[in-house]
Amino acid sequence: MSDSSNNIRVFRGITGLEQLRTSWNSLAKRVPDKRFFHLYEWHHCYLNALEEDESRVYYLAYFFGDQVEAIFPLALRFRSFCGVSFSILETFNHPHVPLNDILCVKSDGSPDYLHKFTQFLRCQREIKWDAINLSKILQDSRVYSFLRTGPRQLCIINTAGLNDYIPLDGYEVFLQKISKNFRDSLRKARNKLNSYSTGAKNELAF
């Protein structure tokens, strides 16, 4: 399924994902700050090992000519609210999938791919849906940046939790946070190690 005016095509399930493999990997190489959940291999493993019904997973791909510029993974789920059943397109919500995002090159001149994808979904007729739920999205993700800056109708954004992380400030900054006595002890140990021959160093380091 495709839309010639918006250059968007839909790839369904694991068969569709495998059709995207070359284009996906080519796009990922152009994304310098990609993370594990942006990778083709991550999604292939998810469909093979964790997804109960891979036929309900869709990959929306935005093409410019023959080149993919953005990929938006979504899964169709059925949810009930107050006794009413809804068809929800949502990012992956499995316990073993901690984060989600659109794969695209982020720059100041980038189009609002989220807006293009949602406009396409409103116009197409094959996927029946009532709402879109974007969960497990980081604040520095592409999806969140599009949500924050783009035009949105009937859009609700809620903070849903925090992610633990270890700040990597560099070796010098790390040393400054260590007490002076401990730094002196480390310096003495290093000097003692340097006084040994190469063979003894290897033994001590082991």
Residue 146: CA count within 13 A, CB half-sphere: 23
Written as six digits, the tokens of 32 are: 């310098």
Find the helix or strand (DSSP H, E) in which 89 lies: strand 84-90
pLDDT of 25? 96
- Contact yes or no for 146/33 (Cβ under 8 A): no
pLDDT of 184? 86
Tens place of pLDDT per residue across the chain (206 aa): 544 445 999 999 999 999 999 999 999 999 988 999 999 999 999 999 999 999 999 999 999 988 999 999 999 999 888 889 999 999 998 989 889 999 998 776 678 899 899 999 999 999 999 999 998 988 888 888 888 776 666 666 666 666 666 666 777 777 777 888 888 888 888 888 888 755 544 444 43
Decide: pTM greater than 0.85. Answer: no
